Amino acid sequence: MKFKKLPFTDIQVSEICLGTMTFGKQNTESEGHQQLDYAVSRGINFIDTAELYPVPAEAETYGETERIIGTWIKKNNNRSSIILASKIAGPGAYTKHIRTTGFSKSALKEAVNDSLKRLQTDYIDLYQLHWPERFTNTFGTRGYKHISKEKWEDNFSEILFNLNELIKEGKIRHIGLSNENPWGVMRFLEESKQSLPRMITIQNSYSLLNRQFEVGNAEISMREKIGLLAYSPLACGVLTGKYIEGKDAANSRLNLFKRFVRYSSDQSTLATKKYLALANELGISLTHMALAFVNQQTFVTSNIIGATNMNQLKENIDSIDIELNPNTVNAINEIHEEIPDPST
């Protein structure tokens, strides 16, 4: 396994991070434990979760993923050897069953304390805001549309102040963003100059089908040293090629949850076919090519993989040993130039 430091810390995290949002929905508790055991055996020390998980978010399964991770930590007594990241859910119709108070002081305190209980730990290494409170383009929305009568008021400083209180209490160690845009990143970084904690990571979607992070956030990532934790590097499994080749199972994510259409456009399918043809020409799996491309980006701190079975997990982790040569990267970029960011 390869490792990088979380920016502005001495914490070494594996360049492959285990995503867990299937635990408690697509995967049982025992399957989740099996994945965690195997990941650790392969050198992974970085685990990402969220209070919202599993996905799709439902009141009946709220917090179940964290609970499963918590029972695994208790069983193995290995908290000190793993780096644990979690998130507070942002506002929205699909999170009303969690709370409706956004990132207020009471919401942050409640979310952190409840996560600590479920995870059976007394601290979280990296605590992230799952998506912005304000109205902006996230989760597949390409362009920003301003709402002049929006009720949200600038509260970046207040959020950092309240997160700092939790840091002082020892409940969280460092903080990060997720599904954030350049303006939000820079506002948080600007406010942190007032003796407030600094956001050190940003967890956004990044894959062969969605390279929009490169447009504005990548420069911020490099110049301001805020590392990308890339999620959906396989675009919900689309970039394995299984849907094109007819190898998808009935319990594959896009078959189970029809509303997940972020990577299902005609242009996404066309681009995927071209990437699959390139991978076949190179004699490697599309999975390995897609993950290796993400692994090699200088602005990526860790690549968050997810799997529903052990074969998928092994193949995903094996991507850390794949190095794409300049000719392959050029060929990938040519496809990207032809069909840029078919997903968002």
Please identify every residue annotated as catalytic.
53
List CB contacts of 176: < 8 A, sequence separation 6 or more.
Answer: 85, 126, 127, 128, 129, 199, 200, 201, 202, 203, 229
Structure tokens at 297: 């980006």
Torsion sign, CA atoms 18, 44, 122, 31: positive
Two tokens, residue 256: 């189970």
Task: Give yes or no for a cis peptide into 56 (omega within 30° of 0).
Answer: yes
Rounded to an integer, what distance in angstroms lies between the CA atom of residue 284 and that of residue 107? 46
Residue for token digits 């299902």?
264
DSSP lists the bridge partners of residue 230 as 303
Q: Which residue has the tokens 């681009």?
A: 271
Q: At what angle do helices 326-338 and 266-282 cross, to 10 degrees?
A: 160
- 105, 111, 182, 218, 271 from 158: Cα distances, Å: 8, 16, 19, 26, 43
Residue 268: strand, helix, or coil: helix
d(CA 24, CA 53): 8
Place of tokens 């007032």: 194
Q: Which 3 state secondary structure label does DSSP give 193?
A: coil
Tokens at residue 287, please? 């999975």
Q: Is the dihedral of CA 220, 223, 228, 234 positive or negative?
A: positive
Length of the chain counted residue by residue: 344
